[in-house]
Structure 1
Amino acid sequence: MPLFRMVAATAAELPEAVALCCGPRHVTYTQLVADAGRLAAWLSSLGLAPGDRLAVLLPNSIELVTVILAACRAELVLVPLLLDAPPTRQAEIIGQTGARGLVLASGLGAAIPAETREQLAVTVCLGRPEPGTVGYDSFFAHTPSAPVPRSTVPDPICLLVYTSGSTGRPKAVAHTQERLARRVEAFVQALGVTADTTVAVFAVHRPVVLVFQVLAMLRQGGTVVLAENPDPAAFWRLYGEVRPGYCLVMPSYARKLFADPAAARVDHSRLRFWLSGGDAPGQALYEASRRITGRPYCNLYGLTETGLVAVVAPSETDKPGCVGRPVGDVSMRLVDDAGQGVPEGSPGRLLVTSANMMAGYFNDTMATHRAIGTGWYDTGDCMRRDAEGDYWFLGRSGDIIVRHAVQVAAALVADVLAGYPGVAEAVVVGAPDAEAGQVPVAFYRTAGPDPGAETLLRYLADRVDALSVPVACLAIAQWPVTPRGKTDRQQLTALAVKCLGRVRGDV
């Protein structure tokens, strides 16, 4: 239970410091550790044993963090469920992981099919108990009669997080306590997180990001402010009240925030940096952060399988678009299609290795062997490395457009296009073409008058090679996003195909 001990050590040093805030409520480190320990004992008394999977369907809340720590203390395996997933998906995850317990908020019972809930040994309900559940608050009255059982496994699995499915059927990625604890240490060292820091953590669609961010702050003795994603006006009110040291926000959400007039009216004096992950922020977001808040927008790079891989430190943010350098014990290398290393500055597929990567895919030995059997994990992302050792994200391997057998880096073309005055953001996708195989199509969003497609195409023609010039530049008012907040490139590709078909008279 190293993760629980890690937070307990902080509580011993800073017993009365505020650990968590959510709305008008807050808890100290002493109270948080005591509640998590009591909850762990209560869950054990209900029949949950070390190694049992505990599914969790809760909003950002003090109770969510308490359950996370209690699961670590009882050496249960946490299985986070997404609030917006359909009931069929929730049932699949519970069934595939063999979860024996479930903690959910009152009113969310309909999100779990009745036949699935009947298979669970324990269902705990936060708030007004629903039929067939045990009230969450019951643990406050529980007096432990025996020590919480311990696992016989040296480094037990503590977390199962599903991949997004962007590269195939979603798989449950297993993380262990020791590995997660070491990744937390690497993160706080890389970003210089200290005990006097307050971080605002908003709802994210990657549970591992939430767990990781909360544990990192609790490791250092700072304060975590938890909230769902409010509208921009409500966000800036909360921001002004808590005055965080940094904020973790996804790029799609950050764009809405910086577009709100309130962004320029609040006090940013305690803010050190913005932190982004999950999608490329884009040049416009870097500039907006500097212009409006006077603080850098730092990018971190990681995957569900590897955890945090690289980060741009707040002191090294003069390279918009860069994902930074490896953190902790992470090693990165770039290879070509034959698996050979590529020269400095050349694009290559990123391989990652670390002693703290995933333990494997849950109950899938063959998939685990294919993914990390060599000791290196193939991310499927295309990057380049500059002379200073910084890595630059160029896109997924699937985002590399092959036009007349020549590779076109979509992200590089988009970055050039975003450099045109008045273009706020740009994305380039590949559309199928009978003659060329694929052709690049650019989408752009403006921050003022539209310069027009012809002007932008001439601008690109002067700055990129001929095969990298898109066949069309299409203005878009708002980016389509996936349920996880990333730019939905599949929707853009479908729109590109449709628009090209109209131009050619195919539709």
Structure 2
Amino acid sequence: MWTAHLVRRHRQQRPDALAVVAGERALSWRELDARTDALASALLDRGVRRGERIVVSSPNRAEVLELYLAAGKAGVIVCPVNHTFPAPEVAHVIGNVEPIGVFAEQAVLDRLGDAFGTGWRVALGSPAYEAMASGPARLLALPRQDDVYAILHTSATTGLAKGVTVTHRSISACYTGMAAELGLGPHDVMVNPCPLFHGSMVIGLAVLAAGGTLVLEREFAPQRFLADVAAHRATRAFLVPAMVRFALRTRAFETTDLSSLTDVMFGGAPMPDEVLHEALERFPCPLRSIYGITEGGGPIATMLFEPAHLNGGADGADELRLRSAGRMLPGCHIEIHDRAGHRVPPGEIGELCVRGDGRMVGYWRNEAATAEVVRDGWLHTGDVAYADPDGFLYLVDRLGDVLIRGGQNVYPAEVERVLAAQPGVRDVAVVGAPSAEWGEVPVAFVAATEPDPQAAPLLTACVAELASYKRPVRIVFVPEIPRSTAGKVLRRVLRAQLAGGQTAPRTGLPADRPTAPPTDFPADPAPLADPAPPAGSVPPADRPATDPPGTDQPGPGQPRTSQSRTDQAARTDQAPADQPPAAPSRPTTDQPNTDRSGPDHPQSDHPQSDHPRADEPPADQPQPGRPATDQPAAGQPAAPSTDGAPTGGAAPHTNGAGGADVPPAAPAKGV
């Protein structure tokens, strides 16, 4: 279904029904079709030819959606640009797509100025824009399905943003599949405060494709969101997890009539356990996770969470499903592949790969980057995951974020989940720091809610819930965790700060599965915490002279391998010059177990049982000694960044120690 087709169809079927509401503006299907016809004609009259680009940069407003639809009618390629980007990032995007013209709010045009290039500019809502939207219109031929519809830029957590090229076929496959899965119809009204400049635009188009009403909020404000749900009798809402948390904390939540809601969708970030539980208890409807990636066309999987899941079920399956990213959407095929590109059995960790009509054509004018992530028709997402026998997906981490400590895979999201659940932690991110002894060691950056944070409770929580090799060697308190404009953690910035301003190269390749467990380990001392640095500064990653030897060694009973990242040889531990790193002492094999990670020393309050826990693989999970099949081979490129959003929030749940390849189940990650 072309975007042009969906507007014309609903104008014929329900001309006076509301299509779009934005603040005081409300457009019927008749008005939306007429204005987008006029805009499409005006673009061609300005000399914009089919296949040329226009940029749209603005907070949510009706004109943004009008331009998306008008570009589809005219065969012009629309390039949404985040209006909060700084000038250098905007200049990079402009240089990449070379637009004929720019549509933006006047304030955005004033702020970014020359960064928008030399093409013409039109301010949204200005007389010039209204003249285009109310001028003469002519009926235009539909573009071809395989013509490029949009270029969506990634959130650039690993460098400069890349342009994701999607066709009319791919965008329509995504929003029609989404509409079918959700059962959307003309009766639906969705409140959307999430920005329309990346893959989340697909969810709004899905509502329109079904003939529903899209209520756009310029930006998120908890009280206004609740008021809009009540005023418009909204049946759906799309939020990021932070917005869900803010809504629950608003005093008006208890007094606002939310009874019209049939589900609240969330995406763009992992949902913290406690927020999901509270939301299921207090919202009058189920919650639905949306997991997606811009390169995949937007949403690719979804999961409906209902209050009944809180009971855990007789076998604990419901509680485990609370950590699932869901199952694949119609028309989007998902498999978990090993390093050789073969599908792995349920329960085995590998890379989540996607194919289908919704997948991007490639990166705009970047064939090399496209070849790195699209191979044999499969999009390699860079998400480490596993699937259960019923097709439910469980995200573990990002390939490029996995660090290897003494040959063991450490998933930052798993550590972040433990720390984020502790009182006084507002935000957290874990990255790998170079270590001469173990290759890499995890360092946790924590933004606290109190002015005088204490590390001891955080370290105690890590000891209780994580195997020794997964525990951070340092806690660094910082004023804020650096994030992109889409809210994703800028780990490269943290790594650069740890390396003294130089970003360490990363292959993003987890270690092989071990062939045999070790027989002896050094003792497992407590890690240290750093005091909060001055604002804007981050201490180096070297361990203090007082750091006991063996802090970053795997604990007893934890498997390890000899393989590490290919770039580790170039890294050096930054210990003080007068204090060389101490060599780890090796105890004899009859020394007592200090890791507390075996069955005699449970690391959590959860009683042992026969049903699987979120941090345990299914029964057919491969054991040490089986060939490694969980990740792409060394030397393969890092995969694309998932978009979908801000990625701050809790990470996967784990109840105790686990080896390098035990799949921790993560909360759903969104578009």
Same fold (TM over 0.5): yes
Larger strand fraction of residues: 1
- Aligned-pair identity in percent equals 27
Q: What secondary structure is seen at the aligned counterpart in 1 of 2:107?
A: coil
Give the secondary structure class of the aligned counterpart of 1:207: coil
- In structure 2, distance between residues paired with 1:427 and 1:31: 47
Residues 143 and 257 from structure 1, CA distance in 2 versus in 1: closer, same or farther, beyond 3 angstroms? same
2:259 corresponding residue in structure 1 = 269
CA distance in 2, matches of 1:336, 1:44: 48
Amino acid at match of 2:539: K
Per-residue deviation, 1:112: 4.5
Instruction: Name the count of aligned residue pairs.
Output: 497
Once the 2 structures are TM-superposed, how far is the Cα of residue 142 of structure 1 from its aligned partner?
Answer: 2.3
Distance apart, 1:187 and its partner CA: 0.6
Tell me the residue number matched to 1:49.
Answer: 49
Are the counterparts in 1 of residues 263 and 285 from structure 2 also a CA contact under 8 Å?
yes
Q: Look up the match of 1:254.
A: 244
The corresponding residue for 2:180 is 189
| Distance of aligned partners of 1:488 and 1:254 in 2 relative to their CA distance in 1, 3 Å threshold | farther
Using the TM superposition, give the Cα deviation of residue 443 of structure 1 relative to its aligned residue in structure 2, in angstroms: 5.8
Pick from 260, 281, 299: which aligns with 2:271?
Answer: 281
Give the drift of 1:197: 1.6
Matched, 1:390 2:392: yes
Distance in structure 1 (CA, Å) of the matches to 2:543 and 2:409: 26
CA 147–421 in structure 1, closer or farther in 2 if over 3 Å, else same: closer
How far did 1:413 drift?
3.8
Partner of 1:370: 372
Compared CA separation, residues 445 and 117, structure 1 to 2 (3 A): closer
> What letter corresponds to residue 221 of structure 1 in structure 2?
G
Is 1:498 the counterpart of 2:539? The answer is yes
Q: Map residues 106-505 of structure 1 onto 2, 5 A cutoff.
A: 106-114=106-114, 117-118=117-118, 120=119, 122-128=120-126, 135-144=128-137, 147-148=139-140, 151=143, 153-204=144-195, 207-307=197-297, 308-314=299-305, 318=318, 319-416=321-418, 427-442=429-444, 453-472=455-474, 480-490=482-492, 494=497, 498=539, 501=542, 504=545
Return closer, same or farther for 1:179/1:239 CA change in 2, 3 Å cut-off: same
Deviates more, 1:417-426 or 1:66-75: 417-426
What one-letter code is carried by the residue in structure 1 that aligns with 2:226? W
Structure-2 change in CA distance of 1:454 and 1:295 (3 Å): farther
CA contact (8 A) 1:180 1:356 kept: yes
> 2:4 is paired with a residue of what secondary structure?
helix
Pick closer, same or farther for the CA change 1:125–1:169 going to 2, 3 Å: closer
- 1:255/1:369 CA distance change after superposition, 3 Å: same
Q: Secondary structure at the match of 1:179?
A: helix
CA drift of 1:396 comes to 0.6
After superposition, the C-alpha distances for 1:440-481 in whole angstroms (9 at most, x for unaligned) are: 344668999x99644554444444433223334567786553
Deviations 1:328-360 (A, max 9, x none): 222222234444544432322222211321122
Cα shift at 1:297: 3.6
Question: Cα distance 1:88–1:377, how it changes in 2: closer, same or farther (>3 A)?
Answer: same
Letter in structure 2 aligned against 1:41: S
* CA 1:343–1:455: 2 relative to 1, 3 Å: farther
SS in 2 for 1:30: helix
Contact map agreement 1:286 1:296 (CA 8 A) in 2: no
Structure 1 Cα separation of the partners of residues 282 and 263 of structure 2: 12
**In 1, are the aligned partners of 2:157 and 2:489 still within 8 Å (CA)?**
no
Deviations 1:148-206 (A, max 9, x none): 3665x5521110111222344322111111221111111112222232221111142x6
In structure 1, list runs of 5 or more residues that go unmatched: 130-134
Partner Cα separation in structure 1 for residue 351 and residue 99 of structure 2: 36
Structure 1 residue 89, shift from structure 2 partner: 2.8
Mark the CA change 1:504 to 1:242 in structure 2 (over 3 Å): closer, same or farther: farther
Q: Distance in 2 between matches of 1:376 and 1:212?
A: 21
Q: In structure 1, what is the Cα distance between the partners aligned to 2:273 and 2:116? A: 46
Secondary structure in 1 matching 2:136: coil
Partners in 2 of 1:459 and 1:358 — Cα distance? 42
1:334 aligned partner, one-letter code: I
- Check whether the contact 2:44–2:74 (CA below 8 A) recurs between aligned residues: yes
TM superposition shift of 1:367: 3.1
Whether the 8 Å contact between 1:349 and 1:383 is mirrored in structure 2 is yes
Deviation at 1:392, TM superposition (A): 1.0
Residues 157-166 or 329-338, more deviating: 329-338
**Structure 1 residues 385 and 116, CA gap change in structure 2 (3 angstroms):** closer
- Measured in 2, the distance between the counterparts of 1:361 and 1:428 equals 29
Residues 49-68 of structure 1 aligned to structure 2 (within 5 Å) = 49-68=49-68
Which has the larger helix fraction?
1
Q: What is the alpha-carbon distance in structure 1 between the residues aligned to residue 489 and residue 250 of structure 2? A: 20
In the aligned structure 1, how far is the partner of 2:324 from the partner of 2:181? 15
CA deviations over 1:386-444 (Å, ceiling 9, x no partner):
23321111111122221101112232344455667897876544333332222234466
- Do 2:22 and 2:218's aligned partners in 1 also have CA atoms closer than 8 Å? no
Gaps of 5+ in 2: 310-317, 499-529, 531-537, 547-574, 577-671
- Alpha-carbon shift at residue 213 of structure 1 (Å): 2.0
Take 1:438 and 1:322, find their aligned partners in 2: how far apart are those partners?
29
Shift of 1:5: 0.6
- Distance of aligned partners of 1:269 and 1:278 in 2 relative to their CA distance in 1, 3 Å threshold: same
| Contact persistence 1:90–1:111 (CA under 8 A) | no
Letter in 2 for 1:401: L
Question: What's the counterpart of residue 102 of structure 1?
Answer: 102
Give the CA deviation at 1:68. Answer: 1.1
Amino acid at match of 2:132: F
Checking the alignment, whether the CA contact within 8 Å between 1:263 and 1:293 is kept in structure 2 is no
Quote how far apart the aligned CAs of 1:378 are: 1.2
Please give the secondary structure, in 2, of the residue aligned with 1:430. Answer: strand
Choose 98-107 or 399-408, whichever is displaced more: 98-107
- Structure 1's 150 and 424: CA in aligned 2 closer, same or farther, altered over 3 A? closer
**In 2, Cα distance between equivalents of 1:216 and 1:83:** 23
Secondary structure of 1:271's match? coil
Distance 2:92 2:448 in 1: 42
The CA distance in 2 between the partners of 1:475 and 1:16, in whole Å, is 56
CA contact (8 A) 1:302 1:310 kept: yes
Q: What is the distance in 2 between the residues matched to 1:106 and 1:35?
A: 21
CA distance in 2, matches of 1:100, 1:223: 32
Q: Partners of 1:411 and 1:109 in 2: how far apart?
A: 38
- Letter of the 1:84 counterpart: T
Q: Would the aligned equivalents of 2:287 and 2:304 in 1 still touch at CA under 8 Å?
A: no
Tell me, in whole angstroms, the C-alpha distance in 1 between the residues paired with 2:92 and 2:490: 24
Report the counterpart of residue 641 of structure 2 in structure 1.
none
